[in-house]
A and B are shown apart, each in its own frame.
Chain A
Amino acid sequence: MTATETHAHDHPDFLQHHWDTPVQQFEAGKMGMWLFLATEVLLFGGLFVAYAVWRGNHPDMFRFGSRYLNTTMGAINTAVLIASSLTMAAAVTMAQRNKRGALIILLSLTLAGAITFLVIKYFEYTHKFREGWYPGVMLYERPAHAESWIDDYPTPRLAGEGSSPVVPAAFAGGPVAEPTTVPPPAVAPAGVDAAALAEMDGIAADHDEHGRTHLLHPAQDPDRPANAHMFFNIYFMMTGLHGIHVTAGVFMLSWLIWGAARGRFTSAYFTPVDLGGLYWHIVDLIWIFLFPLFYLI
């Protein structure tokens, strides 16, 4: 179908009145979607910058926190999303080839992938909540004597410093505590709380050789650096925003399946499937960056 054949008089149902040809409408839709995806990249770009800044300032916090993420679950989720991207791409082809049955099956498989991802994410999140990690300091139980939410929670405190929060060396711009195999000193120097000192000492041992099953409950982990919970704040923020996008994808895929079942999409008009596919790929792509950044490194 070329532009000249369809001029003015041949207006199919799906062609809106201000377009001359279906090709013109399709190309405009595709361009609009690409521009929207650019805004999505920039939206997440802000979070990636925040991640980079924070990780650069507090590498110990990230090294400690990532040990408490379940790499197996993350890897399964990565595989699920990549597989769903494949089925989505195939669905677009099936729409272009007028194969309605295959289109519905492939879209449903993609939807199943999206839901599987969210279910696994649900188990990961609830596990974190049970371990005592929450998305934000205000959700932690407020210590009875603390003046504000942020005043006291895990930030270590030297004895005799009164109520002013202690700024750990890593925050004060001093050298960040390097990983070391020296265990925390058994005897505290005079006037210093031994537990706080142990927390200040940074990561005391490499736990990887002991295996992840031997991790202590995070609250009792002597290697916990100051403000270790902040790793989980940015983890929940970034994976949460991504999760919202996956949830939007669930609705979008359901809508596409509904449209496919009604026979809306043909080789002449498959724009929604194509644009939905583009959206789904960007959601996958963002996860492919999130997975190594949080789980692996």
Chain B
Amino acid sequence: MTTIDATNPVPEPPAYAAATDNYLTHTRGFMSWAGTLDHKRIGVMYLVSVLSAFFLAGMFGMLVRTELMRPGQDFLSQDQYNMLFTLHGAIMVFLVIIPSVPASLGNFVLPIMLGAKDVAFPRLNLFSYYLWLIGAICAISSIFFGGVDTGWTLYVPYSTHGTTMGGVIPVAAAIFILGFSSIFTGLNFIVTIHRLRPPGMTWFKMPLFLWSIYATGILQVMATPVIGITVVLLIVERAFGIGIFDPSLGGDPILFQHFFWFYSHPAVYIMILPAMGIISELIAVHSHRHIFGYRFIAFSSVAIAIFSFLVWGHHMFLSSQSPLMNVVFSAITFSVAIPSAVKVFNWLATLYKGSITLNTPMLYALSFLFMFAIAGLTGLHLGTLATDIHLHDTYFVVAHFHYTMLGSALIGMIGGLHHWWPKITGRMYSEFWGRIACGLVFVGFNVTFFTQFVLGSLGMPRRYHDYSGPGWSPDTTALFFKYHLVSTIGSYIMALGFFLTAAYLIHSLFRGRKAPANPWGGRSLEWQCASPPPHDNFSEPPHVGDCYDFSVLEWDEAEQGYHWRHDLPREPGEA
């Protein structure tokens, strides 16, 4: 498409010409954003903040990879290395992935999908954004308090009796604050879904994205308080020596691990479930085919949420847990594979005989399917007691959770970002560069992390800044060097892909073609609003049809978007 300039303006789509006022232009000035109660603006503020944190933590990750490229100490001391991977993990988990989909895209899309004017508690929504901001400042300020080198898990006694420990209290406080930000978001969404559905939208007519956000909300509300009290105990332990986790005073350090994983395992599903919801939308919309097995996908989200509370012990197979507990946790861990596989099979069945458009969102969705399959299947290796003893704390684990967190959760989020980008900004991004960048990310990611599966099964331990010198045989060092080199090169390719994504997305803000209301042919309610949506979303509650029945839409060449088929009468109660 041509770019827009003053002499040759692209005509506005006639149907939406009247909608000149949108949420971006409704009011102006800094305070109209900083004090806004509009869920769309809060969603955009979250999006910018989360992506900034993603950039920062991604840079930390690149430094870690660069240090590991060659054996020997290159440019990071041991302590610097430890602090970098700790901050990389802590920021990625607590500042980026947990709030990424629900708080940014969810905030923007959820009320519009429900045909509502806002979330249930707009003030609480803004408050949780500011909690995120305070938490981010706390987490990053830990660098100036001496850093934290415990790994993102903050295990005792590293976090209570370690050496470079000034940053533990700021990071723990950040986790507490971010936890409550997450709780309030989840609480808000649960109530919104319960109380603000429009007439006609029963539970089983909701878009599947809402089901997954709902399941996520339950996890956020029910799991996060436990990490809250855990980090409070950790802070009090460090400040006063309360001794609950200190064996020399009669405390129990394993109790910390139980508390930590009681939250942090469900947190994995707080991260992945919203991405799964996005994938359900992307696959249905971009293959123009009714989602297959709606109820199975919906209930599998809830089943995953329930199972996720019962598997935390699989992080502690080697932490002196009783053999009986190990067996029970291992068995329940396997059972999580069932609802996960139900989702994947339903997505594949949706694609089958669909009219697939291989645009950027769809490419991300397909990447997700590929990488989530690897993530889930390698999880079974780690859930098996015998193999876990070999693979525990090796790069196999690192590769596994990067396939889950980055390869699935964040790739789903980036796919969703492309899917809703026209809705959020009112501009179309460059499809050509979008596909190139998606390819770079996909190739770079797999080169980076698939090699780490091999590296881990060969015995490379995680969290080591060096793999040469005393204690390492030269052969081992030479072998690991090859894999680390490939992995680091892969990470550069992936970074290039992400930078390219940032470049064309920012470019589209200024030079992108104006987006039609419905560029992809989606049926859920957000595609009935103008792009970008007006301040109040809908002047009156819209009527709801089957949000996966795409047969009623047709492509309009002039509008470059989809609208209701001309040969079909508008049924009463259908939109």
Decide if B121 is an interface residue (CB 8 Å cutoff): yes
Given contacts A32-B187, A38-B222, A233-B242, contact A150 B248 (CB under 8 A): yes
Contact A50 B244 (CB under 8 A): yes
B251 at the interface (CB under 8 A from A): yes
Say whether B187 contacts A36, CB under 8 Å.
yes
- Chain B proximity of A235: nearest CB distance (Å): 11
Task: Tell me which residues across on chain B come within 8 A of A61, comparing CB atoms.
Answer: 250
Contact A135 B255 (CB under 8 A): no
A68 CB-CB contact with B under 8 Å: no
Q: For the complex, give the distance between the alpha carbons of A17 and B51 in Å.
A: 31
> Shortest Cβ distance from A2 into chain B, in angstroms?
15
A46 at the interface (CB under 8 A from B): yes
- Is A237 a contact partner of B236 (Cβ separation < 8 A)? yes
Whether A43 sits at the interface, judged by CB under 8 Å, is yes
Minimal Cβ-Cβ distance residue in A for B537: A18
Q: Which residues of the other chain, B, contact A49 by a CB distance below 8 angstroms?
A: 255, 259
> Distance in Å from the Cβ of B144 to the closest Cβ of chain A?
23
The answer to whether the Cβ of B225 comes within 8 Å of any Cβ in the partner chain is yes
Question: Are B251 and A42 in touch, CB under 8 angstroms?
Answer: no
How many interface residues does B have (CB within 8 Å)?
47
Once the chains bind, are A150 and B249 in contact (CB under 8 Å)? Answer: yes
Interface size bucket, A side? 35 or more
Interface residue stretch chosen among B52-60, B72-80, B112-120, B410-418: B112-120
Check B240 against A139 for contact (C-beta < 8 Å): yes
A226 to B247: give the CA distance in the assembly, Å. 13
* A32, A46, A57, A137: the one within 8 Å of B225 (CB): A46
- Interface flags for A135-147 (1: CB within 8 Å of B; 0: not) read 1111100000000
Quick one: CB contact mask for B120-138 with A, threshold 8 Å, 1 for yes?
A: 1110100000000000000
CB distance from A146 to the nearest CB of B (A): 12
Q: Judging by beta carbons under 8 Å apart, are A138 and B241 in contact?
A: yes
Residues of A within 8 A of B240 (CB): 134-139, 233
The tally of CB-CB contacts under 8 A between chains A and B is 136
Would you list which residues of chain B between 21 and 78 have a CB under 8 Å from chain A? none
- Complex Cα spacing A28 to B118, Å: 13
Q: Does B239 contact A (CB under 8 A)?
A: yes
Please report the C-alpha to C-alpha distance between residue A36 and residue B195 in the assembled complex, in whole angstroms. Answer: 16
A35 and B221 contacting across the interface, CB-CB below 8 Å? yes
- Let me know if B250 and A171 touch, CB within 8 A: yes
Contact A18 B118 (CB under 8 A): yes
Q: How far apart sit A16 and B121, CA to CA, in the bound complex (Å)? A: 9
- Quick one: CB contact mask for A65-88 with B, threshold 8 Å, 1 for yes? 000000000000000000000000
Residue among A8, A17, A149, A237 making CB contact with B117, cutoff 8 Å: A17
Query: Known contacts A32-B187, A139-B240; is A18 also within 8 Å of B250 by CB?
Result: no
Say whether, besides A40-B225, A46-B229, A61-B250, A32 and B191 are in contact (CB < 8 Å): yes
A-B contacts, 6 of them at CB < 8 A, read A17-B118, A17-B536, A43-B228, A54-B251, A136-B241, A137-B249
Give the interface of B toward A (CB within 8 A): 111, 116-122, 124, 183, 187-188, 190-191, 194-196, 221-226, 228-230, 232-233, 236, 239-244, 246-252, 255, 259, 536, 540-541
Residues of chain A at the chain B interface (Cβ within 8 Å) = 8, 16-18, 20, 24, 27-28, 31-32, 35-36, 38-40, 42-47, 49-50, 53-54, 57-58, 61, 134-139, 149-150, 155, 165, 167, 170-171, 226-227, 230, 233-234, 237, 241
